[in-house]
Amino acid sequence: GQQVMQIPQYQHVQEGEDFTTYCNSSTTLSNIQWYKQRPGGHPVFLIQLVKSGEVKKQKRLTFQFGEAKKNSSLHITATQTTDVGTYFCARYNFNKFYFGSGTKLNVKP
């Protein structure tokens, strides 16, 4: 129903490597949001995607919304230690936000 599923659950990369996390839904999404939670911190909004096939970039981060609006991805190019944290996708529906279980990224210097 309202669930969005995220994979992988964990990702360990060497600094400088790329990273991708995927968010999938069994139903069509009206939008998808991405949040980042640093260790010991709270989730912080990154971006919202609305249109089919939409691609948005924020520096080294690239966000994509699938053509069928059932999946989304976040790609980080050349990771840095500041990218460490858990990345959540969330769907906003009927005034409520439903979060995936997140992908925890660890970056080894």
Partner 1 sequence: DTGVSQNPRHKITKRGQNVTFRCDPISEHNRLYWYRQTLGQGPEFLTYFQNEAQLEKSRLLSDRFSAERPKGSFSTLEIQRTEQGDSAMYLCASSQGRLRAGGVEKLFFGSGTQLSVL
**What residues make contact with partner 1 under the rule CB under 8 A?**
6, 9, 33, 35, 41-45, 48, 88, 90, 92, 95-102, 104
| Shortest reach from residue 91's CB to partner 1, in Å | 11
66, exposed or middle or buried, with CB in 10 Å at 0-12, 13-18, 19+? Answer: buried
Query: Which one, 31 or 77, has the nearer CB to partner 1?
Result: 31
| Shortest reach from residue 34's CB to partner 1, in Å | 10
Query: Which one, 48 or 77, has the nearer CB to partner 1?
Result: 48
